[in-house]
A and B are shown apart, each in its own frame.
Chain A
Amino acid sequence: MSALAEVQRRLAAALDEDNGPAVDHLLPLLAAGPGRSAAARLSIYRTSARRARERALEQIYPVCREILGPRCFAALAEDYVREFASHGADLNNEGARFPAHLAACIGQRPQLAALPYLPDLACLERDWHAAYYAADDPPFDPARLAALQAAGRAEAAVFRLSAALRLLASRFPVRAIWHSHHHGGRTDRITLGQGDRLVIRRAGPRPTVDAVDPPVHALLSAIADGHCLGELATRGLALEQLPQLIAQGYVVAIDDSAATRRHSA
């Protein structure tokens, strides 16, 4: 490891902990200066780095924050930032595991037991945010499917969903809760119902959250899992919906490479 890499590794390790050996390992590398100690100067970076990620979580999960209250949300966000490192340059992708973090916290903290729907609601907010920032899709090219049919390989066709589409299934009415908070409503009058099968998708400037029938959700989920057309048929999925899903822009392409791999296998 180069000297520069070692310095950076020590500084990063010292940011990851509040006190302890990592800070002690860094301090000999630092120059003395006027005013506050090097350890105190280090805390400026530690605070700022954590705050940047916590602010990102606040922006991605506003409804969860409203339900939990700012202080409770801040505590959960702080725990998350300490526990899970960030691995991407784009803060818009921050917090992908925050719903799972909430689920774990609900199991450990009795005060959150009354909010069992919170992890699924967080999934909705995470997916809405991801759809908002997803790339635009090229239009579906029907010639690709026709070419596969002409080559007798239609069953190997693997469809691709829109980059700006996410699927969510929940036993809770998370769509109604989410909508209610966006319109200043109350969540204590929402009935449990049969749960939600949702498509979160951006077609225009902003994503929409739409409930779909279970057969449509099952078909989209199987496509998302990479099953080819032949497998979709074998599973008895609602293939009659496929033309409509293509027309709606849910299904945007045929993955040629996947179709070729399946045909050769």
Chain B
Amino acid sequence: MSAYAQSGLAGAPAGTRDHGISGAGIGLRLCHIDEVLRQRPPIPWMELLADNHLAEGGLTALHVEALASLYPLTLHCVGMNLAGTDPLDDDYLRRVLALRERSAAAWVSDHLCFTAVGGRRYHELLPFPYTDQSLRHVAARVHRIQEILGAPLVIENVSAYLRFSDSALGEAQFLSALCRDTDCRLLLDVNNVYVNAINHGEDAEAYLRALPFERVAEIHLAGFAPREDYLLDAHDRAVAAPVWDLYARVATRLSGVPTLIEWDNDIPPLPVLLAEADKVAAITEAPR
């Protein structure tokens, strides 16, 4: 049994209501922090991009402290390099852990990807082949990260623009096996499922059927940008109609799982973001 399991924290993300993380939240971006702290809008919960808030002092730390006193929070990372073959960045993980403690975040998530190789950071969610070897490799790193964080990691499916001929598993099968081997949880990004289905000619419903839904701790929704011959996971606009449709089908099977609106580029005024979150409630609370 791992140290985090022995600590009694192993079930933390699954017990979402214990942490106040429920309903439709927003990804809080830097440009909205002052407005949120001033107006204190009734947002059920918010997610911080951990990498923007790692500073252990100054205004950044004051903001985290103030937000944590007002809202239930979660942390979303982009720098753990889960599938990377470079050594784990212990200093980065230490800072994430410190931020988790300062923010009382219910859980920490990152992406199924690699972000660095040979000491070079690419600041991009890069794909890798889904093989037995890579499964063992990622599982070992997830175990180590969970030991450091003292809690299960929540892992997000990504938009991938490349597929590898060596992949013996689909992403959903890979994530399912990873959950089995590490007791991690899932962050299901419905927009990413849709974008991948279109870009690779894959079946979104089959993807969803292969996921262990009981492991899903959080759902993400975001807007994609249509390009000439593909969809870009741009996070620069409202959620598209077909993604809402897919979400509505997911929500029937994931009742009570908190959902988050992400908007990272061309960020709109806060009321627009909150209105987008209201659409989540309209779907999840609609009579069935």
Contacts and interface: CB of A to CB of B under 8 A. Distances in A.
Interface of A: 2-5, 7-9, 11-12, 15, 28-31, 33-36, 38, 41-42, 44-45, 48-49, 52-53, 85-92, 132-137, 163-164, 202, 205-206
Contact of A133 (B58, B118, B121, B167): B58
B171 to A, nearest CB: 13
A33 B120 contact: no
A29 B200 contact: no
B89, B115, B119, B162 — most chain A CB neighbours (10 Å): B162
B167 A44 contact: no
Interface in B133-158: 133-134, 137
A9 B92 contact: no
B84 A31 contact: no
B232 A44 contact: yes
Contacts of B81: 89
Contacts, number: 142
A29 B232 contact: no
Interface residues of B, number: 49
Interface of B: 51-52, 54-62, 79, 81, 83-85, 89, 92, 114-124, 126, 128-129, 131, 133-134, 137, 161-167, 199-201, 229-230, 232
A85 B116 CA distance: 11
B165 A91 contact: no
A84 to B, nearest CB: 10
Contact of A34 (B115, B121, B200): B200
Given A4-B137, A133-B60, A206-B58, A12 B120 contact: yes
A49 to B, nearest CB: 4
B41 to A, nearest CB: 23
Contact of B120 (A3, A44, A85, A163): A85
Contacts of B120: 12, 85-87
B86 to A, nearest CB: 9
A5 B85 contact: yes
A21 B23 CA distance: 50
A134 B55 contact: yes
Nearest to A15: B122
A41 B79 CA distance: 22
A41 B162 contact: yes
A85 B58 CA distance: 28
Given A4-B83, A7-B129, A7-B164, 14 more contacts: A4-B133, A7-B166, A8-B85, A11-B126, A30-B162, A30-B164, A52-B123, A53-B123, A89-B81, A90-B51, A90-B92, A133-B58, A135-B57, A164-B57
Contacts of B201: 33-34
A92 B58 CA distance: 14
Nearest to A86: B121
A91 B161 contact: no
4 closest Cβ pairs, A-B complex: A136-B57, A89-B79, A135-B56, A205-B59
15 contacts: A2-B133, A5-B117, A7-B129, A8-B84, A9-B117, A15-B124, A34-B201, A44-B161, A45-B161, A52-B123, A85-B121, A132-B60, A133-B55, A136-B58, A205-B58
